[in-house]
Amino acid sequence: MNSNKMYTCVIVDDEFHARELLKNHLGVLPSLRLLAVFDNSIEALSYLMGKDVDLLFVDIQIPIMLGTDLVKSLVHPPKVIFTTAHKDYAFDGFELNAVDFLLKPISLDRFLKAVQKALSMDMLGQVSQPVEPNKDSPFVIIRADRMNHKIPLTSILYVECLKDYLKIYTDDKCLMTKMPLGSFLQLLPKKDFIRVHRSYLVSKKKIEAYNSYHINIGKEEIPVGPNYRELLFSELGSRIG
């Protein structure tokens, strides 16, 4: 996730107090920009068909067209967080791959958790298709924040796996993309990178200290998995702890 990126949002809800509450919650996060607020699905549909929106907060039970039908009508829907006063609608929302489902009245804490989940998914929801370099290529290209990022191999510190997503830490930034860790490792030269845990791979050149339990890269302490210790020491040298 790019902490400097501004994420655009739209609210669709026929209840005045619900709209005002969401607007107040949105105001807490400077990275969220509210583009428009609608009290019906038809006006919202017309607006959404012509705008590039990152995150949609939509009530399921709204006049004329249900919120779920509104989302189904969009060819390229944004990330969706459904809101409703009726718990029974939750299943319909998750069938549409909604980021989250918020039951009214929506607390700020629950709202923030839903937004963080959406932002952690990088506002993309698609598996990154990296450009596979040739053996001599000094970089990889990954998709993050709706852009293709060219990452020099020499700048990569380590990579952390979070379920279906990767956080790629470099000398000057952190990028998040959707890709299996094993697939990303295959793009890297084996002489320079090593997997040290089921959730981590590191640059050998960036390792400052290591033992059987962790690796130090700068101020970061990377865990070493039991199944990866022998590989680590065979690649880097004799045991030191």
At residue 226, the pLDDT reads 92
Question: What distance in Å separates the CA atoms of residue 168 and residue 181, rounded to the nearest whole number?
Answer: 10
CB 194 within 8 A of CB 235: yes
pLDDT at 95: 54
Q: CB atoms < 10 A from the CB of 194, how many?
A: 21
pLDDT, residue 123, reads 46
Query: Does residue 158 share a domain with residue 75?
Result: no
Residue 186: CA atoms inside 13 Å, Cβ hemisphere, count? 9
pLDDT tens, residue by residue, 21-36: 999 999 989 889 999 9
14 CB neighbour count, 10 Å cutoff: 16
Domain that holds residue 18: 7-120
Give the pLDDT band of residue 20 (cuts 50, 70, 90).
Answer: very high
112 pLDDT more than 80: yes
Mean pLDDT of the chain: 84
Q: Are residues 62 and 108 in the same domain?
A: yes
Q: Is the pTM of this model over 0.85?
A: no
Residues 100 and 29 in one domain: yes
Give the confidence band of 116 by pLDDT, cuts at 50, 70, 90. confident
Average pLDDT over residues 134-143: 69
Domain count along the chain = 2
Share of the chain above pLDDT 70, in %: 84
Half-sphere exposure of 107 (CA within 13 A, CB side): 3
- The rounded distance, in Å, linking the Cα atoms of 143 and 178 is 8
Same structural domain, 80 and 157: no
Q: Are 240 and 211 in contact (CB under 8 A)?
A: yes
pLDDT at position 16 is: 95
> Final residue of a domain: which of 120, 148, 168?
120
Token pair of 88 as six digits: 């029974």
pLDDT reported for residue 124 = 43
Last residue of one domain, picked from the residues 88, 120, 152: 120
Helix (H, G, I), strand (E, B) or coil at 21: helix
Is there a single domain that holds both residue 13 and residue 110? yes
DSSP assignment letter at 131: B
**Does residue 156 lie within any of the structural domains?**
yes
Element (H, E) at 57: strand 55-59
Question: Has residue 129 got a pLDDT over 60?
Answer: no
Of 68-82, 143-157, 189-203, the range with the lowest mean pLDDT is: 143-157
More confident residue, 118 or 21: 21
Question: Taking the mean position of all CA atoms in its chain, how far away is CA 161?
Answer: 11
Query: Which phi and psi angles does 90 have, rounded to 5°?
Result: -55, -40
Q: Quote the strand ranges of 100-218, DSSP E.
A: 100-103, 139-144, 147-152, 156-162, 165-170, 174-178, 193-197, 200-203, 209-210, 214-217
- Verify that 186 and 108 share a domain, yes or no: no
Task: Say what percent of the chain tops pLDDT 90.
Answer: 44
Domain CATH for 19: 3.40.50.2300
